[in-house]
Structure 1
Amino acid sequence: MSQTFLPPKSLQQLCDPYAVLGISVIADDRQIFKRYHTLAKLLHADRHTKNCNPDQELATAIFSHLINPAYEQLKHRDKRYAAIAMLQSQAKALEQKPLSSQSAVVQKIMEMSTPQAELFYEEAIAYYAEDQYKLLDKFYQVTQQISTLNLVYLRLHKPNMFMAQEAVPTIPKVEVKPVELLLNEKTNVKPDLTGYAQRHYERANQYVSQAKWPQAVQELRDAIKLEPNSSDYYALLGLVHLKQKFTGMARVYIRQALKLNPQNSLALKYAPELKIEAGENANPKSTAKAMSIAALFSHFTQGKGS
């Protein structure tokens, strides 16, 4: 049975407002508000009453004593900087602990380059946040995991990177005239990129049948580079991520597949499972970011087996 109250220990240990909301420490004003609005709907008392959910009192306590204070702190810039300073102090303390004594995820992140770690961090936060408050008896453990990720991320950055920056004088604009670049010889012969892309796609299908997800991701990324407007490639890439339980990334790719071809059978098959409505378009920036994260996860999971 779930608790219907929050013990003082929980309130003391969940002191990371970013982790409480389930967002990264680089979240901007819009992301902070959007997440708060999402949690307000998710934990609203009426929702639990209608569903006959026994966690109504716990949901109300979480929202009143954790979510609201966290949002109040992060919606003010000065308080936000104070929260970052506090977390950076905790991150320094984390450095004193031997790496071997820390979780496997922390160890892997510390082995990555900074760009790789940043991409992994963002996707891991989104992964945890999706289920953070769906099972209220697990919210404490999930929030602690997010807090740990935040501390590891802050270890990789300079202490003053999140502080307010002084205004920098604008560099005068210099007019640059376009220069036409000409080839010595013109030719009408063009490589058949579609054929190469199809080969990557066929190999990806073979890897999917063998549940070799990282290899399938790599082949599909290569196919999309050569032929970026094929809905089949995006649809299969969405399925690969869904099989790995990366639902956020799967949603991005399935949306893109349906944007390119609203009748794509594979995308239509999994759209309801991912709660994608008809006519819902993909965000080009989200798709580009997901492609970068896919490259990282392909590297990160390589060698782990299926």
Structure 2
Amino acid sequence: MSQTFLPPKWLEQLCDPYAVLGISVTAEDRQILKRYHTLAKLLHPDRHTKSSNPDEELATAIFSHLINPAYEQLKHQHKRYAAIATLLSEARVLQQQALSSESAIAQEMREMSTPEAELFYEEAIACYAEAQYKSLHQFYQVTQQISTLNLVYLDLHKPHLFLPQKPLTIIPEVEVKTVEPTLCENTNVKPVLKNYAQRHYERAIEYTRLTKWTLAVQELRDAIKLEPNNSDYYALLGFVHLQQKLLGMARVYITQALKLNPQDSLALKCASKLKIQPGEKANPKSIAKALSIAALLSAFKDGKRSQVKC
């Protein structure tokens, strides 16, 4: 095989540009651009001009025929929606297939609760991405695993979370009253900005009271995206995970809440139950899940391709 031209089965992976770049389907613009820059530094032809790397041609081909087209597709929002729509169709097909055709890590994710699967999915993608281009000859197998995880994740979630929402066409009739214009002494009145993060938090509190854990988690994740330094959001998210007996994730969020506010009352109560020591540093990964992923990926990282079940 000439290294300048990639085999057709490699080019077919462009149907999942997220997998080609080694990112999750929830990746935002900043994450997509950051990953592209990382791969550009690793695979760009200029990096090999003064070296005698035998994989120079293969790296150039992968960068030119896979990385660049995948990035071009994902950097445009409308093309990104088209890619998600295609993957959703494939996810429905995957759902009808026997689970035996999936990797062990994909089957493990299917058996998890929704919030646990979300954290596991992000961790798995990160681990696969680390190994994806370390050996260019293993790129195809690793990318296949990422693509499978993407399809399983999409299958476990509602499609409307990933596609643009259509505006509501039914608008209730509102009685319009004629108001006589009046002069106002204060003409510099500024509109009151709505705190959408607080609204997510308040809905999460209500869902927590109703023990609707999945809905509470989603609201809190949205709140954290808007206000990433609010300890109340992390504390309640840790409490929700604790109620679900997801102790690893509970520790992550409670530790982060205490890092932001050591006096947060809810975080302190949960910390005592989780036996979190004062000053303990936040760890963004659940240790148990990270270890299980690392075990499945050890063959890629050690370069022992035959040990990995694809």
TM-score range (shorter-chain normalised) is 0.5 to 0.7
Kept in 2, the 8 Å contact 1:2–1:55? The answer is no
Match in the other structure for 2:276: 226
Q: How much does 1:102 deviate? A: 2.4
Residue correspondence of structure 1 range 86-97 to structure 2 within 5 A: 86-97=86-97
Q: Distance in 2 between matches of 1:219 and 1:164?
A: 34
TM-score (ref. length: structure 1): 0.58
Kept in 2, the 8 Å contact 1:132–1:142? The answer is yes
Secondary structure (helix, strand or coil) at the match of 1:121 reads: helix
Q: How much does 1:296 deviate? A: 4.4
Match in the other structure for 2:181: none
Q: RMSD of aligned C-alpha atoms?
A: 3.5
Residue 299 to residue 130, structure 1, CA distance change in 2 (3 Å) = closer
Deviations, residues 43-64 of structure 1 (Å, cap 9, x unaligned): 0223234442111111111111
TM-score (ref. length: structure 2): 0.57
Match in the other structure for 2:287: 294
Kept in 2, the 8 Å contact 1:128–1:142? The answer is yes
Residue 43 to residue 111, structure 1, CA distance change in 2 (3 Å) = same
Residue 106 to residue 16, structure 1, CA distance change in 2 (3 Å) = same
Structure 1, unmatched stretches of 5+, are 174-215, 235-286, 302-306
Deviations, residues 211-251 of structure 1 (Å, cap 9, x unaligned): xxxxx999998799632425xxx5xxxxxxxxxxxxxxxxx
Deviations, residues 99-138 of structure 1 (Å, cap 9, x unaligned): 2342211211111111111111101100010121121111
Q: How much does 1:98 deviate? A: 1.8
Instruction: Specify the code of the residue in structure 2 equivalent to 1:294.
Output: I
Residue 83 to residue 295, structure 1, CA distance change in 2 (3 Å) = same
Instruction: Specify the code of the residue in structure 1 equivalent to 2:70.
Output: A
Q: Distance in 1 between matches of 2:292 and 2:277?
A: 22
Q: Distance in 2 between matches of 1:299 and 1:144?
A: 19
Match in the other structure for 2:3: 3
Q: How much does 1:158 deviate? A: 0.8
Q: Distance in 1 between matches of 2:291 and 2:275?
A: 16
Residue 60 to residue 113, structure 1, CA distance change in 2 (3 Å) = same
Instruction: Specify the code of the residue in structure 1 equivalent to 2:20.
Output: V
Match in the other structure for 1:163: 163
Kept in 1, the 8 Å contact 2:102–2:148? The answer is no
Percent identity, please.
66
Matched, 1:148 2:198: no
Secondary structure (helix, strand or coil) at the match of 2:53 reads: coil
Kept in 2, the 8 Å contact 1:106–1:152? The answer is yes
Residue 116 to residue 46, structure 1, CA distance change in 2 (3 Å) = same
Residue 228 to residue 20, structure 1, CA distance change in 2 (3 Å) = farther
Residue correspondence of structure 1 range 117-266 to structure 2 within 5 A: 117-165=117-165, 226-230=276-280
Secondary structure (helix, strand or coil) at the match of 1:160 reads: helix
Kept in 2, the 8 Å contact 1:217–1:294? The answer is no
Q: Distance in 2 between matches of 1:297 and 1:129?
A: 14
Residue 72 to residue 172, structure 1, CA distance change in 2 (3 Å) = closer
Deviations, residues 143-166 of structure 1 (Å, cap 9, x unaligned): 111000100000111111112246
Aligned residue-pair number:
202
Instruction: Specify the code of the residue in structure 2 equivalent to 1:105.
Output: I
